[in-house]
Amino acid sequence: MLLAGVRGLTLAVVSLCCSVALFVLCTLSLTSTVLGVGVVTTPPLFGLVGRFADWRRRLAAEWAGVRIDPVRASPPEPAPTGLLAGVRVFGRLLRNPATWRQFGWLATDMTAGFVSALLAAGLVFYPLEGYALAAGLWRVFTDGSSVGYWYGFVPVQGQATALLAGLLAAALSAVALFAAPLLLTLHFRLTKAVLGPSEEDLHRRVDHLTRTRHEAVDFSAAELRRIERDLHDGAQARLVAMGMSLGAVEALIEKDPTRAKELVVKARSESADALGELRDLVRGIHPPVLAERGLGPALEALALRTAVPVEVDLPLPGRAAGAIESAAYFAVSEVLTNAAKHAEARRVWLDAGYRDGMLHFTVTDDGRGGADAEGSGLRGVARRLGAFDGVLAVHSPEGGPTMVTMEIPCVLDEGHGATAH
């Protein structure tokens, strides 16, 4: 009860101060768009609102066990450049449904949110006044001959009525014991109703997950067929040839030792080739460095094997789930391969990071541009990321440069960091 009261008081103060200030500033910024000022001031202001909303989401989960999912934003887009950069950022912000949900939440938070949080705090702390009156504080307000103070509906004019005030305070404390935590939960459920995704958003989310699940199953089946084909055409054929060579050695070892020795050398060479192909196949399924050292070092090793020079900046603070790391690794691998084979790039830049619960990757090359996001290679990358609710965006004007941005929502285990430069 006391914890709910303290938290309710904190939320009431924050709702009244921060939400009012942000709402007024955002309103002024939006209305000043006609003067051109809002185009510059609105994006950073709503970025601050987004961080404030994320903080409240964390409080909802930690204080009341209420999970508030963010509204799914549009796919990431590279930062625009040029004279119209601010206008394009501003337009993208206004098209994002999360922007208007957060704006509406500010209005709700400073009114109904403030009232619900204040009620939780009031139920806990208002009885303290009644206890103080019963303990003798009533003498400050009256000499006992007239009503000197009202506590709730109890007129305090002496010790007897002060004791009634104390009884009322005890009753309020009994109510607060159950009602204060419920009011705090109500505050966060109200926040969820405004800030969380709507039913339409959830339907779209279900449709998206259904589609990506089918695509993931199809992709897994295609990968299995590829592995079977590579085994049949590569390592299996070499092992069969090696078996035939060893059979010939067995027949010739007494009759023609020289020829048998040549076949042994050939069989050894075939075994080495088969082993190399098996290693390449295993690396194509799940690179050992990825399992042992994490995504950062694995991407650094991948960059070293790429046909064009790749500059990497991979400040990853921890390890993600194995399946997510694998998906990210092969998505980046496909994009780097495209840059080396098709973009005629001379240099590639690979940047990665983790913020706001999202794993970010950006691959930029100085090639000829014109990359098609609907092409088979990038469409396969998008399907791979989509299985984990990830998204891909491509910015590739004719003449270049090409920038491919990828995001995957995940939680990192910061106890196992992996950073590469």
Higher pLDDT, 273 or 394: 394
Residue 324 has pLDDT above 80, yes or no: yes
Q: What is the mean pLDDT of the chain?
A: 78
User: pLDDT tens, 343-380?
Assistant: 778 888 888 888 767 888 888 888 888 777 666 667 77
Which pLDDT band holds residue 295 (cuts at 50, 70, 90)? confident
CA distance linking residue 54 with residue 58, whole number of Å: 6
User: pLDDT tens, 74-102?
Assistant: 444 444 444 455 566 677 777 777 788 88
Counting other chains too, the contacts that 227-235 makes at CB distance below 8 Å and 24 or more residues apart are 227/281, 227/284, 227/285, 230/277, 230/281, 230/284, 231/281, 234/274, 234/277, 234/281, 235/274, 235/277, 235/278, 235/281
Residue 35 has pLDDT above 70, yes or no: yes
Residue 69's pLDDT is: 75
155 CB-near residues (< 8 Å, 6+ apart): 147, 149, 161
Percent of the chain with pLDDT over 90: 3
Mean pLDDT over residues 298-307, rounded?
84
Which pLDDT band holds residue 338 (cuts at 50, 70, 90)? confident
Token pair 């920038």 is at which residue?
A: 403
Residue 23's pLDDT is: 92
Q: Please give the structure tokens belonging to residue 143.
A: 């000499």
Residue 261 has pLDDT above 80, yes or no: no
Residue 24's pLDDT is: 92
Residue 214's pLDDT is: 65
Q: Please give the structure tokens belonging to residue 98.
A: 């999360």
* Alpha carbon separation from 194 to 95, 109, 169, 197 (Å, rounded): 18, 9, 34, 8
Q: Quote the radius of gyration of the chain (alpha carbons, Å).
A: 33
Peptide bond before residue 288 is cis, with ω within 30 degrees of 0: no
Mean pLDDT over residues 14-43, rounded?
85
CA distance linking residue 168 with residue 150, whole number of Å: 12
Give yes or no for a contact between 43 and 361, defined as CB atoms under 8 angstroms apart: no
Residue 232's pLDDT is: 67
Residue 21's pLDDT is: 92
Residue 38 has pLDDT above 80, yes or no: no
Mean pLDDT over residues 93-117, rounded?
86
112-116-117-118 Cα dihedral, nearest 10 degrees: 100
User: pLDDT tens, 205-239?
Assistant: 677 667 666 666 666 666 667 667 766 666 677 77
Q: What's phi and psi for 274, nearest 5 deg?
A: -65, -40
Residue 226's pLDDT is: 66
Residue 281's pLDDT is: 59
Of 30-44, 118-132, 169-183, minimum mean pLDDT range: 30-44
Higher pLDDT, 376 or 126: 126
Q: Please give the structure tokens belonging to residue 394.
A: 């491509």
Q: Please give the structure tokens belonging to residue 330.
A: 């092969």
Residue 62's pLDDT is: 87
Of 1-15, 93-107, 325-339, 365-379, minimum mean pLDDT range: 365-379
Q: What's phi and psi for 253, nearest 5 deg?
A: -65, -30
CA distance linking residue 305 with residue 209, whole number of Å: 34
pTM over 0.75: no
Residue 25's pLDDT is: 92
Residue 84's pLDDT is: 52
